Amino acid sequence: MRFLYSLGLSLYALLLRLVAPFVPKAAAWVAGRAGLLARVEQALAGVAAPRLWVHCASLGEFEQGRPLIEGLRQQYPGHKIVLTFFSPSGYEVRKSWPGADYVFYLPLDTADNARRFVAAVQPRLAVFVKYEFWYFFLRELRAQGIPAVVVAAIFRPQQLFFRPWGGFFRQILGQLTHIFTQNEASANLLRGIGLTRVSVAGDTRFDTVAATALAPRAPCPWPKPS
């Protein structure tokens, strides 16, 4: 299944390259990833401040996660915030947003890309907003002992995670440190497949997520600033 996952992503990237001359959004996606990892490495080289990484698929997810990002900024002023997008519709609109210190596209999810990106960013915490569960990135974060959480998540019974043949995708969710859902139905679906590190936060308000993470039953997933 991992082979099919990687093959699917490769075919997706190839398709975007083929249609890029005719589709502006595809062209922006391809151009934005040209030399991307080298740019990330150069931008963050020598930066001593601890970093928090927040990923949003697109503009809608950014707006969903914006209160949390702003809360992280207030709570941890000594940390740099690295914001990534998968889609040009998010990156092009928010690439100069002052609430983040660095804004990049997310590299395609491969083992090599994940290793280089995580090594360059060295986040103390990775936050994924609502969707996008990338196997190699989550695997690399877990291998490096970096907490990874999803906020504002919504799950439905027809998704692959809950199908009899969805074992690979359940493994992806299992690599997360914690999942914050928008509703109890989503949380119950996750508990039904054996995931226990789940909380209903309702939205992405910083105080809701932080209060849950700081509760005695679960250690804070990100460090206190020095």
pLDDT of 205 above 60:
no
Q: How many helices (H) and strands (E) would you count in the chain?
A: 10, 7
- Round to whole Å and give the CA distance between 200 and 187: 7
Q: Where is 104: in which H helix or E strand?
A: strand 102-105
Region of poorest pLDDT, from 36-40, 50-54, 56-60, 221-225: 221-225
Q: What is the CA radius of gyration of the chain?
A: 17
Task: Write out the two tokens for 12.
Answer: 């997706």
Q: Which amino acid is at 213?
A: A
pLDDT at 131: 84
Q: How confident is the model at residue 201 (pLDDT cuts 50, 70, 90)?
A: confident
pLDDT at 224: 43
Is 137 exposed, middle or buried, given 0-12, 13-18 or 19+ CB atoms closer than 10 A? buried
Q: How confident is the model at residue 226 (pLDDT cuts 50, 70, 90)?
A: very low
pLDDT digits (tens, 9 = 90+) for 68-115: 999 899 999 999 999 999 999 999 999 999 999 999 999 999 999 999
How far are the Cα atoms of 57, 141, 154, 177, 178 from residue 146, in angstroms, in the given order?
A: 20, 5, 23, 9, 12
pLDDT at 210: 52
Distance of CA 165 to the CA centre of its chain: 24
pLDDT digits (tens, 9 = 90+) for 124-145: 999 999 988 999 999 999 999 9
Instruction: List strands edge to edge, sheet with 148-153.
Output: 102-105, 80-85, 51-56, 123-129, 148-153, 178-181, 198-200
* Of 68 and 40, more confident: 40
Backbone angles phi, psi at 224, to 5 degrees: -70, 140
Taking the model in full, what pTM does it have? 0.88
Q: How confident is the model at residue 209 (pLDDT cuts 50, 70, 90)?
A: low
In this structure, are strands 123-129 and 102-105 parallel, antiparallel, or unpaired? unpaired
- Round to whole Å and give the CA distance between 125 and 123: 5
- Round to whole Å and give the CA distance between 168 and 134: 12
pLDDT at 225: 39
- Round to whole Å and give the CA distance between 30 and 25: 9
Q: How confident is the model at residue 1 (pLDDT cuts 50, 70, 90)?
A: confident
pLDDT at 26: 96
Q: Looking at the domain covering 2-213, what would its CATH class be?
A: alpha beta
Q: Count CB atoms within 10 A of the CB of residue 215.
A: 11
pLDDT digits (tens, 9 = 90+) for 152-167: 999 999 999 999 999 9
pLDDT digits (tens, 9 = 90+) for 165-185: 999 999 999 999 999 999 999
**Average pLDDT value for residue range 198-222:** 56
pLDDT at 219: 44
